[in-house]
Structure formats: C-alpha cells, structure tokens
Chains A and B, each alone.
Chain A
Amino acid sequence: MKKRYVLTFPPHTLDEPLTYHIIKQYDVMINIINARVTAGEEGHLVIGMTGAKENIEKSVEYLRAKSVKCVSIKKHLKYSHDLCIHCGACTAVCFAGALKMIKPLWELRFDAESCTVCELCIKACPLGLFHIDFDE
C-alpha cells in the first residue's frame, strides 16, 4: 500500500532521526516529496509511505507518539468539489498532475495521492475552493 502524509514537527523533534526509525523498524519505504525544515521552527515534511498497511499504520502511531502531526494528504488539502465550475485554472499550476481536466467531459479531478502540497492551487483557484487543514 502507498499513502501520502503531511508531517508537522514541533521544533524539539528536529534532532531525532524519525524517518530512519520508521524505515528500520517498520520496513516502510519513504519518499520525501516536499520538505520545509528550519532550525528552531516547526518543520513540515510531505512523505509518501510504501509498505504493508499495518506497518504504515504503526509508523503513523510512532510519529504521533513523538508529537509529530500526521495528516493524510486527502485530509490535509481540501477541495470543495460541489462548488467547482471546472474552469481549469488550478490545472495551470499543478505540476504534480494531481489536478487534471478529464476528457471528454472536461471535468476537474483531484487525485490527492499525487499531490505534493506545493499549495499553488490555493492561490490559482478563482473560487477559492482549496483549503489546507492542519488538524489530524
């Protein structure tokens, strides 16, 4: 199974090699998609985890025990599909290919598992339909 998460690290956890622990202990493959880490500040990491379902769940549990916020991408970036007019403006900035116009209907489709949380769509949507939610 493959899942993407947005991790938020409190400043004091930055010294710990948490991802190393996940890889070693739970045999989960980690793909770092986006990272913003500054010493003394909250760190943000977007990772893809590939491995057995239970191992991914255990990894998330482990991270949460270390006070790292772990939000699945689907929950993190919210898109109000019902209000969408399918103009396509957001697809102009989505390099990850998570936002695509699906033909022949020309309907916007958001594939959360391809999202890299670059957040460009938030500004690109003229209706303001994308929101970041930091709650777990």
Chain B
Amino acid sequence: MSKQKTYDEINQKIADGKAVVMTAEEVSRMAEEMNPAEIAKKVDVVTTGTFGAMCSSGIFINFGHSDPPIKMKKVYLNNVPAHGGLAAVDAYLGATELSETNEKYGGAHVIEELIKGKNIHLKAFATGTDCYPRTEIETIINKKNINEIVMFNPRNAYQNYNVAVNSTGRIKYTYMGNLLPHFGNATYSTSGELSPLLNDPELRTIGIGTRLFIGGTEGFVAWNGTQFNTSKPKNEFGIPLSNAATIATIGNLKKMSADFIRAAYFEKYGVSLFVGIGIPIPILDEDMARFVSISNKNIETSIVDYGIHPNIVLGRVNYKELQSGEIILNGKKIRTAPLSSIMKARQIAEILRTWIKQKQFFLNAPVQVFPKNTSLNKLEVKL
C-alpha cells in the first residue's frame, strides 16, 4: 500500500498553492498510462460535475413579518402554491409544484427568477390568530427584500441512472424526455466519468457535511438523499448498474447563479429544475485514485423500457457506447441523446478546480458517513 494522505495534508497543499487538482475526465485519461499508485502520488484532488434535471429540489423561504403580522397558512408565489405548514412566514417551495394558472410554469421557474433578482408576486392567506391577526397579504418580493432563501434538495446527483427506451407504438412523454415509439431513441442522464457519485462509488469521502458546488456557489451535503440505495447490483468495477445512492444538498440561493440553476418543463410530464452540482474528491490513497480513474467504458447502466409498467430492464450498456450516439439493443441500432449537459458539467468541474487553486475552497472529511446497507421499501396498497 502506498503512502496515505490526510485531509489536513491536502488542505495544507491547497493553502501553500501546491495542490495538484485535476478534473475527473483528465484523471481518467491519465489513468490510461499511469497506475493508481502513481496517480495517488501525483494528484491531490479530483473535481467532478453534473448538470441535470433534479425534480427533488426546492427552497425554504422566510418572508419577514408585515405589520400587522400574518401566519401565512396558504402561500402563493407567482400563483405557484408553496407549503406554508411551518412557523409563520416560513414556507417551502418545491421545484415541481405547478402554477394554478399555467401548466408549464412552476416552482422551478420561481426559483430561477428569484436567483435572477426578479420581482415575485406573493399572495398569502391565514385564519388570523391573536398573535397573527392579518388574514390576507399581497405584495412583491425579491431576493433582496426577504430574509433567508435556502435551497434544500432532498434527492440530487443520482449515482448512475437508467437509459430510457420505449417499446410501444406511441410516443411517451416522460421525465427522460420524449421517447419515440418502437425503440426510436434512447435517452440517458448522467455525466458518466464526470459524475460526482460515480467517482467515489463506496462513498468514502462523500457524506454528511461534505462541502460542494451547488448552483454556482458553495453548499453542503446535508444528509443521504431520499431513496438512498446501496443494494443495487454492481459491475466488476464497483459501479452500481442503475440508480443507487443519492445526496440531499443545501446551499444559499441568494448566492446562486442562473447559469447553474435552470427551470425546465418536460412535455406532458411537468416542471423540473436543472441543478449544477460538483464535488471535489480527495485522493487519500491508492483506492481513491483507482475509483477516480474510472472511464466511461467501465461505467455501465441498465436500459429500461419506459413504455410499460412495471418498467423492465432490457439490457446493459456503458457510457462510452451511449456517448457515441448509438447503441445496439437486440440487434437494432438506436440513436442516443443525453439529457444532462456535459458542457455544463465540465464547466462546474473547472470552476471547482479554480476555487481550490485560488485557495477559496478547502476539503473536509464527512462529519458522518452514509449508511452502508440500505434498500428500498415498496409502498403496499392495503386499503
């Protein structure tokens, strides 16, 4: 076993301006000629990135108190309902929540407009109490005139995801895009070798408290994401063959940029939010060097028929094949298309590198690692 590096040693190198920081793509190319022991010796940090639609996202808001004050039981932002079942003037706006007047506009759009500093129409109702007598309010807010706006996303950055195809005779409108009939196309939504959780498949360095890039600013891993599943089958390189681990993320919306948070509408599915996330991976030892060396041809995922319920797995494919623009399933050539932006994922990995090189961003060990043996419950229909 080669010499191990500690977080303190890596941070000292960052502080001294001596840290070697590479993107996950660069290190994958380097691994074609160097072994993990050599990479562990040479590289200190590897930066990753992803920019995809992540429905399980949203923001906590505190509006501040009016005079007289209102409890805000029902809250609407640009006609999009937010959840007001919290303390007075606190609310949570989910990205996929739809406007009551425009089915193509939702929480994600309000989030993007807040980031851009635009004015948002706020309407709220309450029953009125002795301490909060007001029953109705209508006003204009923006990110400067309200208190906190904290993005808290319960499930982001899936470690791998299915490839979607459609076996039926009709076009299917899904969160995996428009799937053409008779296997007319295949869509995938992971940045492959650049993807954060695929570069640390055992989640040794990504855990509660990990500092990360979110939406153009610094944020943190808050918890394991919902539907966190460590029991998915893995290939010989330790890569889960479909959607497995996830992270819950948190960050300050007021510091975010619309370059890395964008509202989306998927035809006949609904509204979602493109979220940019990047995580730096410390190369603590040879094992971590081996993990980040993974390349697209060794990252495999499952081809799933989204045309029928329950969805069934039809085959296995790797990201080199997916990114070539064409895969072969049962002897038939199928055109592939990405749904997450590789161009933006690269920008994110590059920005993270710049932050680290400029000594603005340091690494920390997880405050607590994620659970090791989790699987998912199925919702039984009992009544």
Give residues in A with beta carbon < 8 Å to B.
Answer: 85-93, 101, 105-107, 120, 123-124, 126-128
Contact = CB atoms under 8 A, between A and B. Distances in A.
29 contacts: A85-B274, A85-B343, A85-B344, A86-B344, A87-B52, A87-B338, A87-B339, A87-B340, A87-B341, A89-B178, A89-B337, A89-B339, A90-B337, A91-B338, A92-B339, A93-B177, A101-B325, A105-B343, A106-B338, A106-B341, A106-B346, A123-B267, A126-B265, A126-B266, A126-B274, A127-B262, A127-B263, A127-B264, A128-B104
A68 to B, nearest CB: 31
B344 to A, nearest CB: 6
Given A88-B339, A89-B178, 14 more contacts: A85-B344, A87-B274, A89-B177, A89-B337, A89-B339, A92-B177, A92-B178, A106-B338, A106-B341, A106-B346, A124-B177, A126-B264, A126-B265, A128-B104
Interface of B: 51-53, 104, 173, 177-180, 185, 187, 262-267, 272, 274, 325, 335, 337-344, 346
A86 B341 contact: yes
A89 B104 CA distance: 17
B180 A128 contact: no
A105 B343 CA distance: 6
Nearest to B51: A85
Contacts of B344: 85-86
B267 A85 contact: no
A16 B338 CA distance: 45
Contact of B178 (A86, A123, A128): A123
B175 to A, nearest CB: 10
B308 to A, nearest CB: 19
Most B-side CB within 10 Å, residue of A88, A92, A105, A107: A92
A92 B262 CA distance: 20
Closest 9 CB pairs of A and B: A92-B337, A126-B264, A88-B338, A106-B342, A123-B267, A86-B343, A91-B337, A87-B341, A92-B185
SS class, residues of chain B in contact with chain A: strand
Nearest to B180: A93
Contacts of B342: 86, 106
A126 B272 contact: yes
Contacts of A87: 51-52, 274, 338-341
A124 to B, nearest CB: 5
A88 B341 contact: yes
Contacts of A127: 262-265
B187 A85 contact: no
A106 B343 contact: yes
Nearest to B52: A87
A120 B202 CA distance: 41
Contacts of B265: 126-128
Contacts of A128: 104, 265
Nearest to A121: B178
A127 B108 CA distance: 11
A91 to B, nearest CB: 4
Nearest to B264: A126
Contacts of B185: 92-93
A69 B180 CA distance: 31
A56 to B, nearest CB: 32
Contacts of B337: 88-92, 101
B104 to A, nearest CB: 7
A127 to B, nearest CB: 6
A89 to B, nearest CB: 5
Contacts of A89: 177-178, 187, 337-339
B211 to A, nearest CB: 25
A82 to B, nearest CB: 12
A69 to B, nearest CB: 27
A119 to B, nearest CB: 12
A92 B166 CA distance: 12
Contacts of B267: 123-124
A53 B378 CA distance: 65
A93 B274 contact: no
Contacts of B339: 87-89, 92
Contacts of A91: 337-338
Contacts of A101: 325, 337-338
Contact of A85 (B178, B180, B262, B272): B262
Nearest to B164: A92
B289 to A, nearest CB: 25
